[in-house]
Structure 1
């Protein structure tokens, strides 16, 4: 052991002056003043009685769906998070990855101890000079074998760090899956409620159109209108009837999808929410771009992938340096049980080996180059993930602004059409207009109401999408229970991925 000390010291000093791989730091990203092509306004126009405010610099809301103030919606999200098979599968995969990390750390950083036992009967050729043509003998042995490889150049530490970061990737992906599931449940529930309201209004429009066509038919029989008027009324009623099956199919598919998201079979789809019972959140957070890098799990996963790739470059480099292994064995052996179990059968061995790769057909160099290319790919993927996140937020902000404008116009149109309908009803009661005029005005009102329902549902779902795009509040990864390498990092500092990449 004393002869190894100078060698180990020299190797450590040689390694201290150089880095085996990239640091794993994410590339610097541009920090735009605002997300979209145009700065977002401080608030939207007032539509449906609500002008949504964009609170710039606020933290994301963890359980944002509770802001809709619907106990039924909260129950659906909680049920889905508890019962989704996809989420459960992701959780089991994450737990399995954590156990693999623990196993790798334990087997690579601690000595290995194995028990070996043999009992065999052998026949070997004899020695002709001694007149022995064959030898037959028994051999019994039992050993305890201990081996330990010094991680002089950090190959083991870097491999463990890379695996820890890969586990972190799965942890962030699990976190993203949770958020996506909650958002999908909310948008599906709102979508089903919106379609239900549209179907109800469409059925009323079809009933009005059929009544109008019947009235025109009667007037045609009296010679008050032409056959063209009859055909036109019938065509309008048929056109409305054609639109209904499509809406019903969308509604049915949405309910089936919602049931599966909740972990139910499609025949157990939950009842629709009442669209009017949902409260539109009046304030929505707008995380500044620099903070968005820490709040979105997809960006965190891309950063963890980058850290893992940097550690893998270092590990591939370290494989090109020498490795030192110590071994020791202690046991008993002999040609029969009495000797094997007595003091005369004592066996022991101790040794050290130094391995320096010399020629591997270019494999080690190629592996390092491949690791470098993987690192560059992870670097590019991180940049693209950040840009896509900026685009996602920009699109959601613009959508909310435009949704409010569309809903405001639709509400104005519906209110005006309802006023015309009320006036026409009053004139009909006075005998100033015929019944078909009342039906026409009611059709116009319900058509405007149909647009209002559609835009209200779109505004609710786009609000959910913006909350989803903001991510989670920033936290210290070491304190997050769902982060993959937490358990392993508690066992050994070697699992700390950022340090391992240096």
Structure 2
């Protein structure tokens, strides 16, 4: 009896011990600032606006509303509501949660089944006792129960691994939702920018055609050389050749935006007016330590790490004994009266204990494989965190350079616009020929193209920074649901 008590105590103690890593993420370095250079407090003022980088601020929910465009808000809301990609990911998460419930119920609770059997059989009898063959009926009804004791936590570790995988899938859905919002914003900005560039390019082509026609007339009159005429025609044709590519890019952007919204490409939304979008004045710069909790890709890597740690526990627990009990009770007989009477009572109780002894090294190999997978998950977590830091650093740097580029482009555009206005006034006074005014307007329009590109880049990179900071999007209850299922 004492030996049995000692063995039972040893089993309980082993079952209480952790058979795998704790799954805590490794400590990561916390940089003083994201990039190679310290972050500035504010960007360069361009087009009359600058952005303030608020260090230590929290991510902004529904950040796209800071652009102050009802049309843009409607597009994002429609995409989050109607995107088939999000719908598929959401239903996959629902299925994963149900699979988790099924596994928990089948592994931690007893299994009870009811069965009934009615057969008519022909068998061989005993020659001395009766006919050589016998026809008889058999009626059996039973309740069967089975339960496997989770002595060393194999089932609990398996459930923890699946729950962590559900968490990972929920975080991935959250990341997809945030990426969709950012892609809709950048797609709408890109389409508006390309629309404006097409308008400016069409005006440039019209001016170039006027120059070509003017050069042709002057060549016919002998006041211009053939080379001058051909150069003007070449310039007009070169500008016209740029327009199809711009239109193709514009249409592709609109088609992609329509699909993001859950529409067919022929139902692409109307372009926004780029000038109607307000630049968000304050953008959050989350502390590196807080970024680990705000970005869903890092949280998904953390969940994958926990799943890998639990798998080590599963592989380790398979090396220890397994204890199962089973019981059944019911009625049986060769006819219904006998089966329903006390004489037809059937019952059985049993227990089985198994201990792996020799499996050709398979169990130990599986454990080593799970440990290697855990080490890989640790390295993947580190890589995800470092990539997140890099993403934020690159986005901040791009936003700063966008502001500088826009400031220079806007200055050049303003100077070219004033020169064009002066040239038009001089043409009206007869001081210079009309082609000089057209040349001045062309310089202004080329400068305007640079301004449009720089302005849209700053708008798009602002959206990218909000996404990089882990700004939350609505309908984020999936992770909490998964954690409740885990408990």
**Which TM-score bucket, shorter chain as reference?**
over 0.9
Question: Quick one: distance in 1 between partners of 2:211 and 2:51?
Answer: 41
1:40 deviation in Å?
Answer: 1.8
Question: Quick one: distance in 2 between partners of 1:484 and 1:383?
Answer: 27
After superposition, residues 4-153 of structure 1 pair within 5 angstroms as 7-16=7-16, 18-127=17-126, 133-153=132-152
2:439 is matched with 440
Question: Quick one: distance in 2 between partners of 1:176 and 1:294?
Answer: 13
2:212 is matched with 213
C-alpha spacing 1:5/1:351, structure 2 compared with 1 (3 Å): farther
Question: Quick one: distance in 1 between partners of 2:76 and 2:442?
Answer: 37
1:488 is matched with 485
1:380 deviation in Å?
Answer: 1.2
CA RMSD of aligned residues (A): 1.9
* 2:284 partner SS: strand
Question: Quick one: distance in 2 between partners of 1:324 and 1:7?
Answer: 14
Kept in 1: contact 2:21–2:312 (CA 8 A): yes
The yes-or-no answer on 1:314 pairing with 2:330 is: no
Kept in 1: contact 2:112–2:146 (CA 8 A): yes
Aligned residues: 484
Kept in 2: contact 1:167–1:484 (CA 8 A): no
1:351 deviation in Å?
Answer: 2.1
C-alpha spacing 1:9/1:121, structure 2 compared with 1 (3 Å): farther
* 2:356 partner SS: coil
Kept in 2: contact 1:102–1:488 (CA 8 A): yes
Question: Quick one: distance in 2 between partners of 1:451 and 1:124?
Answer: 96
Kept in 2: contact 1:165–1:304 (CA 8 A): yes
* 1:485 partner SS: helix
C-alpha spacing 1:340/1:330, structure 2 compared with 1 (3 Å): same
C-alpha spacing 1:102/1:275, structure 2 compared with 1 (3 Å): same
* 1:241 partner SS: helix
C-alpha spacing 1:341/1:131, structure 2 compared with 1 (3 Å): closer
The one-character-per-residue Cα deviations of 1:400-443 (angstroms, maximum 9, x if unpaired) are 00000100000000001111111112222221111111111011
Question: Quick one: distance in 1 between partners of 2:400 and 2:208?
Answer: 35
State the TM-score, normalized to the length of structure 2: 0.96
Question: Quick one: distance in 2 between partners of 1:118 and 1:6?
Answer: 45
Report which stretch shifted further, 132-141 or 88-97.
132-141
Question: Quick one: distance in 1 between partners of 2:158 and 2:483?
Answer: 17
1:9 deviation in Å?
Answer: 3.3
Question: Which ranges of structure 1 fall in alignment gaps of 5 or more residues?
Answer: 494-502
1:327 is matched with 326
2:240 is matched with 241
Kept in 2: contact 1:111–1:148 (CA 8 A): yes
* 1:284 partner SS: strand
C-alpha spacing 1:157/1:328, structure 2 compared with 1 (3 Å): same
Question: Quick one: distance in 2 between partners of 1:82 and 1:60?
Answer: 22
1:355 deviation in Å?
Answer: 1.4
1:101 deviation in Å?
Answer: 0.6
Report which stretch shifted further, 73-82 or 424-433.
424-433
The one-character-per-residue Cα deviations of 1:139-178 (angstroms, maximum 9, x if unpaired) are 2111101111111111111110100000001100110010
Kept in 1: contact 2:327–2:349 (CA 8 A): yes
C-alpha spacing 1:165/1:56, structure 2 compared with 1 (3 Å): same
Kept in 1: contact 2:14–2:152 (CA 8 A): no
1:389 is matched with 388
Report which stretch shifted further, 75-84 or 344-353.
344-353
Kept in 2: contact 1:169–1:484 (CA 8 A): no
1:15 deviation in Å?
Answer: 3.7
* 2:65 partner SS: helix
1:186 is matched with 185
Kept in 2: contact 1:59–1:473 (CA 8 A): no
Question: Quick one: distance in 2 between partners of 1:43 and 1:5?
Answer: 71
Question: Quick one: distance in 2 between partners of 1:356 and 1:312?
Answer: 20
After superposition, residues 292-307 of structure 1 pair within 5 angstroms as 292-307=291-306
Question: Quick one: distance in 1 between partners of 2:178 and 2:74?
Answer: 16
1:473 deviation in Å?
Answer: 5.8
C-alpha spacing 1:229/1:402, structure 2 compared with 1 (3 Å): same
State the TM-score, normalized to the length of structure 1: 0.93
Question: Quick one: distance in 2 between partners of 1:263 and 1:4?
Answer: 66
Question: Quick one: distance in 2 between partners of 1:25 and 1:136?
Answer: 67
Question: Quick one: distance in 1 between partners of 2:203 and 2:436?
Answer: 16
C-alpha spacing 1:410/1:65, structure 2 compared with 1 (3 Å): same
Question: Which ranges of structure 2 fall in alignment gaps of 5 or more residues?
Answer: none
